[in-house]
């Protein structure tokens, strides 16, 4: 489980670096699909990940407000801020809790959804990059050193 989260974080960080080379206008430009812009997609990925993990930890689910984190820098800082709590939870993941329930979902469903959710929205960033005539961040899992 941890390896897939590490993959997502590595790709996310590469997207933050990629976005740093793009104009603010392009990052905010309304786009079809996803959350409507590159910045909103990145924010949404971070926010949903931390919210689901809070729920799995038995905490009250909390969602950040995009208007408070509407710049690339602030979204990257939010990602850095939220990651330790997520990472700690994932490092302590046990298959014994896979069938525990969070509302109508099992913990296993939720944790796998969180992984797939980010991959889905990162794919949207790749499409938008290509629409801009740019090379997107590679989504390849192989060759990233995660399984070394």
Section 70-88 average pLDDT: 97
Give the pTM: 0.95
Helix axes 107-131, 2-19, angle to 10 degrees: 30
Mind listing the pLDDT tens digit for each residue in 9-56? 999 999 999 999 999 999 999 998 889 999 999 999 999 999 999 999
Section 125-143 average pLDDT: 96
Task: Give the total residue count for the chain.
Answer: 148
Strand duo 101-102 + 105-106: pairing? antiparallel
Per cent of the chain over pLDDT 90 is 95
């Amino acid at each position: 489980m941890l390896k897939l989260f590490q993959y997502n974080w590595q790709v996310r960080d590469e997207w933050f670096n990629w976005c740093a080379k793009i104009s603010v206008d392009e990052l905010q430009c309304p786009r079809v699909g996803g959350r409507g812009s590159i910045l909103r997609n990145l924010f949404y990925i971070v926010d949903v990940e931390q919210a689901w993990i809070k729920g799995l930890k038995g905490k009250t689910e909390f969602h950040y407000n995009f208007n408070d984190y509407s710049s690339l820098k602030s979204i990257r800082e939010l990602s850095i801020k939220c990651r330790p709590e997520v990472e700690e939870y994932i490092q302590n993941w046990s298959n014994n809790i896979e069938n525990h329930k969070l509302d109508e979902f099992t913990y296993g469903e939720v944790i796998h959804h969180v992984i797939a959710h980010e991959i889905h929205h990162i794919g949207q960033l790749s499409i938008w990059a290509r629409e801009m005539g740019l090379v997107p961040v590679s989504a390849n899992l192989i060759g990233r050193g995660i399984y070394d």
